[in-house]
Structure 1
Amino acid sequence: MNMALSVRHQHLDEMKPWSDRQHLLECLSATPEAPDVMTFTFRSDKDNWFRYLPGQFVTLEIPVGPEQSVMRTYTLSSTPSRPFSIAVTVKAQASSIGTRWMFENLKPGMRIRAFGPLGDFTHIRHPGEKYLLVSAGSGITPMMSMTRYMADTAPMSDITFINCSRGPSEIIFRSELEYLARFMPNLNLGFIVEACGRTDLWSGLKGRIDKAKIALLAPDFMDRTIFCCGPEVFMDSVRSMLEAHGFDMERYHQESFQPAQAPTPLAEVSDDGAAQAATSIRFTMAGKEVSCPSGQTILQAARGAGVRIGAACESGLCGTCRVMKLSGEVEMNHNGGILDDEIDEGYILACCSRPKSNVEIEA
């Protein structure tokens, strides 16, 4: 029997959204994009669809060894206008652990745990009349998600798309972008490569990005809403150029998996100057109760007690360490890794929450 014919078709309104609290991701495909770059596409392990904003990210729990896993955060390159699957496009560096494991081991049919989606780096939350999307290397992924979304929902959108890479062969999604530009009349592409090999056919710009190249590719860049993603040094360079040129930085947005500011530590001294006493934390699923010294986070207390709570950024940004608080009070200083409705339900981020009283945690 053809298994593809045996699957019952469901309309979107017959399905529930994917939930990282209940469902795993099942790998559908692994597709090479460029040297050391792969796109991994996933479906829900249940009959679910994916609800997210273009440009958001997920955190994958990658089983790199027996009884060992690492958390890695990746931007979604897919578009929510095609909600039956999601995709991440990742580049494996020489020192990569989690990403290298994915390259060598993650195959169609395998299942993996994910957390999210989360993130504020999206044109939905920072709309503009026209956009300049600037990226380097795999920083192209959120730009591709936003561009794919606009291609599906608003193909007349005014977008100048600048991508920087080491060489022509390393431009990720080049063919698809050139295809999208055929029916998006206001999508203007600009590729910049650092250098060309002797066999490369290249008539575009070469060198590093600078103000002159930006002005050449986007003469009206001062009037655009700008999104920037790439290595930190690349984003710092673009930001500095724009600031020096007098750009309105309210219309500049950059993606970073580093917090805008470190979570504010909870004071270890109360308002009346007395030292705060240690509190107790009860981890209900592990059946353990531990003393938590003043100033220690719930994540730190869990690790000390041998209670496993997944964590990636440990700065209140990625949302991986989200746990249910069953009772008690905490001080939580996060960086956007948890939604207001999740807080209302009782969830907290263990990495940036410190007990103010005895608490019970579902972990």
Structure 2
Amino acid sequence: MALDQSPALPLPKPGLPRFGAAPRQLTLVDRTQDTSDIVTFTFRNEGGALHYLPGQAIALDLPMPTGTATRTFTLSSAPLGTAELSVTVKAAPDANATRWMHDHLEVGQQITGRGPFGQFSLAHRFGRPLLLVGGGSGFTPMMSMLRWLFARGEAVDVTVVQVARRVEDLLYTQELAHIAANMPSLKLFEVVADPAPGESWHGYRGRPDRAMLRSMVPDASRREAYCCGPQGFMDQIRRCLVAEGLSPAHFHTESFGLTAPKAQPVGKAVEQGTGHKVTMRGRTFEVAADQPLSAALAGENIRVPTGCGAGQCGTCKLRLVDGAVDMRQDGGLSDHEVAQGLILACCSTAKGPITLEDAS
């Protein structure tokens, strides 16, 4: 990805613009095999320049043979005022939607996306030195933020830590080397957790612990930290940094599309006759009137795909066959989808007896 060196500009001020998470027609214009199981897909937004904040996410509607599957991914590209945007996607051999992307999504194909959305962006907070930590494909939002800082010519003090399992799994190595050579305010560290036998690696190795992080970031307590990766990885980094004096208020995480959907809170126990009856997947049960349906259904061991949990990404679509709900979405559904009877489980509560079915 070519980066234009633009003059340094002030970091954003409070009251950042809120970009509507509207449906968008996207055309795949490039795909790059980054590692054996990670591909970067670059799309052109047919509506023109896409405005977003570094670290935000987008939802993609994937036209799979079994029906449309909506998946959410953090953007790995930087918002530089162009119509192109990229997502960097990992797919395990037994994956479903992401495996379909790797095997079948070809240049020239058009799909529908929705976004941007999410609060995981350094643009919301400024005035402190930065720490960007990414594990595996969770490094992609860190790359979006770093590309943005570099393209703007920012001189902010930033430390970047990328953690990968093997040397071959490290992402963007050539581009990172170029940025590091031309951004004096950047300190870049790459960590390989489990080098293969005979694999040459002279950098940090092993899983990051408190001693390793202290060696790389001795002044972590004064930084604004952003972390993305598997949940266990983020929990470990948080524990270490808090132990080193970082306030939890200055530690921010996100995991759109990079791990399994976040576990939903278990629905509250409902005393018989006090809740609303829900019929779905051949079962009828009661849910609390004030419980989001995603959580209420999870309490009944009925899982629906989830993404943002805030009514923005459209991942948790269900079809309302009968009854009424109170839905407080934030752009996750188009007016047409609402008219078709679709709802979002994460931001809907039952207003009475309802019947639901899967959207696809």
TM (norm. structure 1) is 0.72
**Residue aligning to 1:319:** 313
Distance 1:277 1:322, change over 3 A: closer
Partner Cα distance (1:83, 1:266) in 2: 50
**By how many angstroms is 1:62 displaced?**
1.6
Does residue 338 of the first structure (1) align with residue 339 of the second (2)?
A: no
**By how many angstroms is 1:182 displaced?**
1.7
Does residue 248 of the first structure (1) align with residue 247 of the second (2)?
A: yes
SS in 1 for 2:177: helix
Unaligned runs of 5+ in 1: 1-16, 280-291, 301-310
Distance 1:315 1:85, change over 3 A: closer
Deviation per residue, 1:316-352 (Å, 9 max, x gap) = 34530579x9xx99545x7xx7269x99xx9974543
Match runs of 1:264-283 below 5 Å: none
**Residue aligning to 1:216:** 215
Unaligned runs of 5+ in 2: 1-17, 279-284, 295-303
Q: Give the paired residue count.
A: 312
**By how many angstroms is 1:55 displaced?**
0.6
Partner Cα distance (1:267, 1:54) in 2: 42
Match runs of 1:4-43 below 5 Å: 21-43=22-44
SS in 2 for 1:319: coil
**Residue aligning to 1:353:** 348
Tell me if the contact between 1:268 and 1:276 (Cα under 8 Å) persists in the aligned partners. yes
**By how many angstroms is 1:119 displaced?**
1.1
**By how many angstroms is 1:21 displaced?**
4.3
Partner Cα distance (2:204, 2:84) in 1: 35
Identity of aligned residues (%): 34
**Residue aligning to 1:171:** 170
Partner Cα distance (2:170, 2:107) in 1: 25
**By how many angstroms is 1:27 displaced?**
0.5
**Residue aligning to 1:232:** 231
Match runs of 1:1-363 below 5 Å: 21-44=22-45, 46-65=46-65, 67-197=66-196, 200-257=199-256, 262=265, 295=288, 312-313=305-306, 316-317=309-310, 319-320=313-314, 331-332=326-327, 338=330, 349-356=344-351
Distance 1:266 1:157, change over 3 A: farther
SS in 1 for 2:122: coil
**By how many angstroms is 1:200 displaced?**
3.5
Partner letter of residue 84 of structure 2?
S
Partner letter of residue 348 of structure 2?
S
Tell me if the contact between 2:56 and 2:141 (Cα under 8 Å) persists in the aligned partners. yes
* Pairwise CA RMSD: 4.0
SS in 2 for 1:147: helix
TM (norm. structure 2) is 0.73
Deviation per residue, 1:122-141 (Å, 9 max, x gap) = 10123342111111100100
Distance 1:168 1:293, change over 3 A: closer
Partner letter of residue 338 of structure 1?
D
SS in 2 for 1:109: coil
Tell me if the contact between 1:263 and 1:352 (Cα under 8 Å) persists in the aligned partners. no
**By how many angstroms is 1:154 displaced?**
4.0
User: Higher relative contact order at CA 8 Å, sep ≥6: structure 1 or structure 2?
Assistant: 2
Partner letter of residue 330 of structure 2?
I
SS in 2 for 1:48: coil
Tell me if the contact between 1:330 and 1:353 (Cα under 8 Å) persists in the aligned partners. yes
